């Protein structure tokens, strides 16, 4: 017998796990879509009422918009080709990505 040869049981298990992984991936995609719709709605709300600090409270939840540096999948390859200095210049020139943070009320917040 060859070492590490797949057994019939391990092959069935692999196929079952793969199908389960795909199903969970579909569920994650559905949840992400639903959350993205809410994120868009909340972002518009903070733009409307958040003021200059881009923060507002709603039902004891804090909604805040922050700017985050954009990230790209090809950054390491670019650094390898153009060098760290050129990559840093490009990073600084890149537009910031707006991100929403929703902080749940703490137990102290709900006591009041």
Per-residue pLDDT of the chain (112 residues; tens, 9 = 90+): 678 889 999 999 999 999 999 999 999 999 999 999 999 999 999 999 988 899 999 999 999 999 887 777 787 887 888 888 887 787 777 777 889 999 998 877 656 5
Q: Comparing C-alpha atoms, which of 45, 94, 41 is closest to residue 68?
A: 94
Q: How far apart (Å, rounded) are the C-alpha atoms in residues 70 and 95? A: 7
| CA-angle at 27, arms to 25 and 33, nearest 5° | 105
φ, ψ at 59 (rounded to 5°) = 50, 45
Specify the pTM.
0.62
């Amino acid at each position: 017998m060859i070492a590490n040869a797949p057994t019939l049981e391990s092959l069935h298990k692999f196929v079952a796990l793969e199908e389960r992984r795909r199903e969970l991936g579909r569920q994650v995609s559905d949840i992400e879509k639903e959350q993205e719709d809410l994120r868009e709605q909340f972002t518009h709300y903070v733009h409307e009422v958040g003021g200059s600090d881009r923060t507002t409270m709603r039902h004891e939840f804090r909604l805040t918009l922050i700017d985050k540096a954009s990230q790209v999948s090809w950054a390491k390859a670019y650094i390898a080709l153009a060098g760290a200095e050129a990559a840093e210049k490009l990073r600084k020139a890149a537009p910031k990505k707006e991100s929403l943070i929703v902080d749940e009320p703490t137990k102290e917040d709900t006591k009041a």
